[in-house]
Structure 1
């Protein structure tokens, strides 16, 4: 499906709007909502959200799909009338009924009726239906008592491929957490310079670079830096990773992502952790701190204000994700 490039645009002066659906495990909800607030400035009361902010769903480990709204109506009859304006001629198309919506239990639409709605919409569009390899993909979704129809884009779950790194270790961030952290730090990448000064094996770097974020990495461990470079090369990503301590960083960045080293697997002391925070304060306007322990007091002492936070859980193990300015 050519969902990412073949879209129908309306000639309108109105601001574009988008409908997003989300899917996450219960222990990922806090992290998903933190990423949501970073992207959209708000979080969805349920697993569906309407926004004027356009985000590629494949950037997020939690966004399932997106509809770029072309038409909206209070009834399906209104939508059917409006889609008659779509003239695809010889091009092919497919219509998808989005299953995640805010319909009440008594108003839920059965599988058979969902397929019937897809067929009915297809009848009103001038073009050739093709469920397997369509040129255009449209979606229909219910939200807030209205129906929305438009270009449909599905998440391609790029990060799943990144799980198969040639170099890895057990305490590294999961790819889902790393990708979410990169989005929380840099939700809108244009013109933003980022750094991961304790990059480890490069899990955050891989996710950030794959999304077009301008980021550099460094670590004090020569062996680990070689592994990070190998991981970037494996995925065809061009990024700078150097050996060195955060204390030696002289450039200034818009944002830093600090996966704080911790005593369980490291000889780092509390004083060294505080030093990392102090230097992060020096080199970046905004810092996203990832830590397995409570660090509010130390973060405040380093001169930061925590403006948002979430928790990433994996079984009994959890990491705090703190947005600091």
Structure 2
């Protein structure tokens, strides 16, 4: 079967995030792509844009050029036969006034490109969505995949408590911990009500959970089942964990549901070093000394603020 258009070997990922999420978004970008950007990232890596709570969409680059007419001259080789399509000008947030393109000009660009494609244009629910975007002095055209906010569906769950991390933070933390999860075994040994577990399982990641509190373990199991995911959650203290994992994700216990003394928190980090090659630790306290004492080296970090004023902050620390 003849290909309808060339296969992409590079991709553009468009981003959006709240100001208070800047540090967290940048850490996730560094983990996934090895670089960071305010609004767009170009990479040879192909990932599902719905993995990230910050990615708006993914452009699989088919053609590039220095101008819109140059792009138009390339897309006329696309023959979609009986398939429908739509061309969308991809908006990028936070551009300078000089870089912004007026709405009417965006529509003209879409039409100029669309007229050159052999196929049937359809504005709603087309078979193929194309995108065009200017970036670093060039124009890029390709198929565009919108991100689906899967984590939104996990906000309301049967069991929850107010101090649990948000679904957005949990999803970003999973990406930071396991940017390439293929073949890896992950553990959340202080899983609480399972916010991290739900996000990881929704991405098809091989993760198990445990907690020494049977009440929150029951809550975690209920939440996982509520979203029709299959996950193993055991009542177990991390000190009793005997298996070895590639990565441990640890939201340090600090609230009335998962009380832990300073000594117990230090012990958790030491046991994390014992059972995993790598750990991502979420903490409201400075634990750099304790992390070093456990034998971990901090390789990256960020601050995840809650609310625009940053009245409540957590540190996300990558340790290896």
TM-score (normalizing by structure 2): 0.95
1:125 correspondence with 2:121: no
Alignment CA distance shift 1:8-1:26 (3 Å): farther
1:239-259 Cα offsets, whole Å, 9 max, x none, are 100000011111110000000
1:318 correspondence with 2:276: no
Provide the residue aligned with 2:275 in structure 1.
283
**Matching residue within 12, 16, 29 for 2:22:** 29
How many residue pairs get aligned? The number is: 315
1:59 correspondence with 2:59: no
In 1, the alpha carbon distance for the partners of 2:171 and 2:16 equals 15
Q: CA deviation at 1:267?
A: 3.5
Q: CA deviation at 1:132?
A: 0.5
* Unpaired segments ≥5 residues, structure 2: none
Provide the residue aligned with 1:81 in structure 2.
73
Q: CA deviation at 1:189?
A: 1.1
1:258-299 Cα offsets, whole Å, 9 max, x none, are 000126765311110111001100000000000001110110
Alignment CA distance shift 1:185-1:9 (3 Å): farther
In 1, the alpha carbon distance for the partners of 2:228 and 2:96 equals 46
Q: CA deviation at 1:106?
A: 2.2
Provide the residue aligned with 1:155 in structure 2.
147
Q: Is the 8 A contact 1:102 1:144 kept in 2?
A: no
Provide the residue aligned with 2:212 in structure 1.
220
**Matching residue within 230, 233, 239 for 1:238:** 230
In 1, the alpha carbon distance for the partners of 2:4 and 2:19 equals 36
SS in 2 for 1:124: coil
1:17 correspondence with 2:16: no
1:75-132 Cα offsets, whole Å, 9 max, x none, are 1111001000110011100111011078652242110010111111110000000010
Q: CA deviation at 1:9?
A: 5.1
In 1, the alpha carbon distance for the partners of 2:94 and 2:54 equals 18
In 1, the alpha carbon distance for the partners of 2:65 and 2:212 equals 57
Q: CA RMSD in A?
A: 1.5
SS in 1 for 2:57: strand
Alignment CA distance shift 1:107-1:256 (3 Å): closer
1:47-93 Cα offsets, whole Å, 9 max, x none, are 11111111211110101111010000011111001000110011100
In 2, the alpha carbon distance for the partners of 1:9 and 1:246 equals 52
In 2, the alpha carbon distance for the partners of 1:128 and 1:263 equals 57
**Matching residue within 126, 131, 145 for 1:134:** 126
Provide the residue aligned with 2:89 in structure 1.
97
1:50 correspondence with 2:45: no
